[in-house]
Chain A
């Protein structure tokens, strides 16, 4: 095989890799859109039921502004903020938290 033929393999090979992965990217995007549409429709219906189970929201006036705690007690929130500060190596005084919400 000559180098020129090798170059052809490069163009065809890399081109095919891109083609397959671009097609895959399109398919995954489409899949996500369909699911999001489906989930959106389902969320709208039982919205009334959800309001019955109200979230417990606490608002704290911190030095850097307001912090909302949703279903989280202050002790846990303080712990989370300390961990984030430690992991990110950013002093707590330089971090701003808008809200901390407990996930089910």
Chain B
């Protein structure tokens, strides 16, 4: 056997990722660097964007076979197995379990009319759906794009996995990026659609909600929503289970686990596996840019929908409802409610809208899950 140093070095070079990387992979590696920067430095939804960005980085290294499925006796790559939680629709409902355990539905129970605002703020979902259809997307893809307007990451991921997996990375990234950008997207629309007098409206303090009401609430919501629309069962069922664990007062350990350990573990797996789907050849297409633009349109129109109904409620109540709480009807808990609070306080420094906006905000979570369930009932399976 002859040994040549040059041949060995050449062989090592040929086997390296540098020699085998395509231009798309290199671009995606750069995109992942930008996302890591945005998550770490700009704090853009870092809990999810960071795992997504790193998953994207890992998936675009050539020759790693991290996403390869099992072949004969050979097991699949690590990310292939982690991705099964997304593929089988397990992670998003588990995230909902954690969200339910973290959410206080008290403001919504105190003012049930908040639910109307949570419904109106789903308007953008359907506008984006129509626009996506007009741009030539299939109904399944259009529904997946539209759901970005619900401003609810797990719901968007759940529906896209069920309807049109090819768009999953673009939709997840758009949804989480726009959720982080809510303080920039919503205020100009809020100021454009409301008068200063409306923004100054002070709302009366919410009544106190009893513990018993809070315990019964998740049972009522699950029963009613799932009986009306069985396709929402995975999301609403888990959301309400988490909330029941929190409010019952007898499962503190389970509630804490759902809020912390389970939520964190699932968030890591969900983020990494969604990011890993952003493979250059599929991601670097014109469709991705369309998704990003349509996602922004969806967010904007959802804000408009909530604000317009807020204005109507303001008028009908004789000026007792501040329309700014309508924009919080897009989910994005609690960011959207905080934006309502900030804008309200800018108009009137003694205005405290946060708790009033939390009602529509958590109603938006239910609203977007219902909207996703409707799309799934129409186009899934």
Picked from A3, A9, A18, the residue with its CB within 8 Å of the CB of B378 is A9
B162 to chain A, nearest CB (A): 16
Nearest chain-B residue to A94 (Cβ)?
B350
Contacts A6-B133, A28-B108 given: A39-B210 contact, CB under 8 Å? yes
The answer to whether A6 and B130 have CB atoms under 8 Å apart is: yes
Nearest chain-A residue to B113 (Cβ)?
A25
Q: List A contacts of B95 (CB < 8 A).
A: none
Separation of A1 and B123 alpha carbons in the complex (Å): 20
B44 to chain A, nearest CB (A): 28
The answer to whether A25 and B224 have CB atoms under 8 Å apart is: no
Q: List A contacts of B129 (CB < 8 A).
A: 6, 9-10, 13
Contacts A9-B378, A10-B130, A32-B213 given: A90-B229 contact, CB under 8 Å? no
Q: List B contacts of A20 (CB < 8 A).
A: 119, 224-225, 228-229, 370
* Contacting residues of chain A (19-57) with chain B, CB-CB under 8 angstroms: 19-29, 31-32, 35, 39
Q: Is B212 an interface residue (CB 8 A)?
A: yes
B307 to chain A, nearest CB (A): 16
Q: List B contacts of A76 (CB < 8 A).
A: none
The answer to whether A24 and B213 have CB atoms under 8 Å apart is: no
Q: Is B189 an interface residue (CB 8 A)?
A: no
Q: List B contacts of A1 (CB < 8 A).
A: 133, 138-139, 142
B216 to chain A, nearest CB (A): 6
B113 to chain A, nearest CB (A): 6
Separation of A29 and B378 alpha carbons in the complex (Å): 30
The answer to whether B374 and A90 have CB atoms under 8 Å apart is: no
Q: Is B80 an interface residue (CB 8 A)?
A: no
Q: List A contacts of B119 (CB < 8 A).
A: 14, 17-18, 20-22
Chain B interface secondary structure, helix, strand, loop or mixed?
A: helix
Q: Is A102 an interface residue (CB 8 A)?
A: no
Q: List B contacts of A3 (CB < 8 A).
A: 130, 133-134
Q: List B contacts of A18 (CB < 8 A).
A: 116, 119-120
Q: Is B298 an interface residue (CB 8 A)?
A: no
The answer to whether B350 and A90 have CB atoms under 8 Å apart is: yes
Interface size on B, residues (CB 8 A): 44
Nearest chain-B residue to A13 (Cβ)?
B374
A1 to chain B, nearest CB (A): 5
A28 to chain B, nearest CB (A): 4
Separation of A9 and B140 alpha carbons in the complex (Å): 12
Q: List B contacts of A88 (CB < 8 A).
A: 349-350, 352
Separation of A88 and B202 alpha carbons in the complex (Å): 13
The answer to whether A24 and B366 have CB atoms under 8 Å apart is: yes
Q: List B contacts of A23 (CB < 8 A).
A: 224, 228
A26 to chain B, nearest CB (A): 8
Picked from A7, A9, A26, A28, the residue with its CB within 8 Å of the CB of B109 is A28
Nearest chain-A residue to B351 (Cβ)?
A88
Contacts A1-B139, A13-B375, A17-B119 given: A28-B217 contact, CB under 8 Å? yes
The answer to whether A22 and B139 have CB atoms under 8 Å apart is: no
Separation of A88 and B108 alpha carbons in the complex (Å): 24
Separation of A87 and B115 alpha carbons in the complex (Å): 29
Contacts A6-B130, A6-B133, A35-B213 given: A25-B109 contact, CB under 8 Å? no
Contact with A along B135-150 (1 / 0, CB 8 A): 0001100100000000
Q: List B contacts of A27 (CB < 8 A).
A: 220-221, 224
Separation of A29 and B374 alpha carbons in the complex (Å): 25
Contact with A along B98-123 (1 / 0, CB 8 A): 00000000001100110110111011
Contacts A14-B123, A17-B371, A17-B374 given: A90-B366 contact, CB under 8 Å? no
* Contacting residues of chain A (66-104) with chain B, CB-CB under 8 angstroms: 88-90
Q: What are 13 of the A-B contact pairs (CB < 8 Å)?
A: A6-B133, A6-B134, A9-B139, A10-B126, A13-B125, A14-B119, A18-B116, A21-B116, A24-B112, A24-B115, A24-B366, A25-B113, A26-B112
Which B residues have a C-beta under 8 Å from some C-beta of A? 108-109, 112-113, 115-116, 118-120, 122-123, 125-127, 129-130, 133-134, 138-139, 142, 209-210, 212-213, 216-217, 220-221, 224-225, 228-229, 349-350, 352, 363, 366-367, 370-371, 374-375, 378
| 19 more CB-based (< 8 A) A-B contacts, given A10-B126, A21-B367, A32-B213 | A6-B129, A6-B142, A10-B130, A12-B374, A13-B126, A17-B119, A17-B374, A18-B120, A21-B116, A22-B115, A24-B221, A28-B220, A31-B213, A31-B217, A32-B109, A35-B213, A88-B349, A88-B352, A89-B350
